[in-house]
Structure 1
């Protein structure tokens, strides 16, 4: 006696026989697939970095499939709108075209000021802003450069503050030539604090931030670290930081350039520095300042 014949076919069989199995061509395990990243409209004034080239600039134009960035020197670069193609405040994002109906934000400088379209640099004022060293000057230029050029303010560096009183006396600040000075580690009781107190001209303003070095004014989160490490007294601060973080301690200049590259706008800096620089710009450009 033959066994009964089932009237039901296995789920993988069709009316004419077995159905072909469909396999995915993506064999990447789920845990190895890249996590989704936010999509950000490429609105004018948005400051981003293209990680492949390190080019950092503000969006000035977004067209079908491309975005045009302008860096602080006025150089333009066009990049494709690729997924995960840019860094925004140190985080990976995908830039997309803004919605046609979305109102465009006014373009802003890296300091957060409203940009003045087609603005020309003003003839330099007699007044100046002095900072301690080259790194301070480069950071101020990167974030406030557009504002300073419009206002006609030149930033110079001192290579230290030991001779500040004589430098101020030589500059001879006056109503039409105000002098602003930014000092590192300006904390009551320190050497820097005593030197700053010796400057008494009403046309010179000395302010400072509490950080040992201007490196610390960059937010750790913008660099992908939890915090700036503590360096024991007696050690060179930059060298100690590089060793603690595994950075090349023998070339602090190159380390600084890598840090500076991660600064896209004022949002990457600590408020203790932001307020002091804005105060100096206001002082030098204020009433009676040329």
Structure 2
């Protein structure tokens, strides 16, 4: 005889139990994907029963806070309003490290991180600024690295004053690689990324472009990029546009991320 449950539902009609999924607060800037449409964006607003997402192109869409309605880091979650019973997640800085609420900036170390130009310094500040202040690390920019050996000598690095240097276009055979190799002081770490300029370390997808254009040899790279992308021929304005689309480390290429983290570790290593 076929067995039935107390509610007379045949076993073959019973649905498998739906596994529970975590509830996550829809905090500002949390990046999620809506499961039915695939729309991916950062949380910019949350009202009763709905959440507003902004994608990388600045487009806004409103979705219901439906159970199992979103993907967060590849896992299905149920978004709820902030403070609505979901366990609080540790706040993160733009670099991805755990934020320290109420932490005061440490007195600046004698050690420093040098970068090539103002754009490099502004990008490092935007993504790693909170971490650098807690660690007491100051970032300064140079007008190129042609005089790097003399700059290092003037800095006079030591065990309690280490120097880290971030170099653009540090690839085998380049002028930059030869200059970097000339610095042999053990209290100095010179690392770099492969991009001609730090602009290239920003992911094209974060800017809504297919990729960074190839610029003919002999043409100023930034000028050529602006021309190829149809941007105004004003590198300063172009950079402000680029920087405005960098929200966190997720908008940067790994080749830059790893090098900056390496420099911070070097400068802050125990004496």
Same structural fold, with TM-score higher than 0.5 when normalized by the shorter chain: yes
The reply on whether 1:116 has 2:100 as its aligned counterpart is yes
Could you tell me which residue of structure 2 aligns to residue 270 of structure 1?
253
The reply on whether 1:169 has 2:153 as its aligned counterpart is yes
CA contact (8 A) 1:165 1:198 kept: yes
Could you tell me which residue of structure 1 aligns to residue 242 of structure 2?
259
Alignment coverage as a number of residue pairs: 223
The within-5 A match list for 1:83-232 is: 84=52, 86-87=54-55, 92-94=60-62, 97-98=81-82, 100-232=84-216
Could you tell me which residue of structure 1 aligns to residue 68 of structure 2?
none
The normalised TM-score by structure 2 is 0.75
The normalised TM-score by structure 1 is 0.71
Change (3 A) 1:63 1:168: same
CA contact (8 A) 1:90 1:224 kept: no
Deviations 1:99-140 (A, max 9, x none): 723212100000000000101000000000000000000000
- In structure 1, how many angstroms separate the alpha carbons of the residues matched to 2:158 and 2:247? 35
Deviation at 1:97, TM superposition (A): 1.9
Could you tell me which residue of structure 2 aligns to residue 282 of structure 1?
265
- In structure 1, how many angstroms separate the alpha carbons of the residues matched to 2:224 and 2:263? 31
CA contact (8 A) 1:127 1:153 kept: yes
| Structure 2 segments unaligned to the other structure (5+ residues) | 1-23, 33-41, 64-79
| Greater C-alpha radius of gyration | 1
CA contact (8 A) 1:86 1:94 kept: no
Taking only aligned residues, the RMSD between alpha carbons, in angstroms, comes to: 2.7
Deviation at 1:170, TM superposition (A): 0.3
CA contact (8 A) 1:130 1:158 kept: yes
Could you tell me which residue of structure 1 aligns to residue 230 of structure 2?
246
SS in 2 for 1:110: coil
Deviations 1:210-232 (A, max 9, x none): 00100000000000000000001
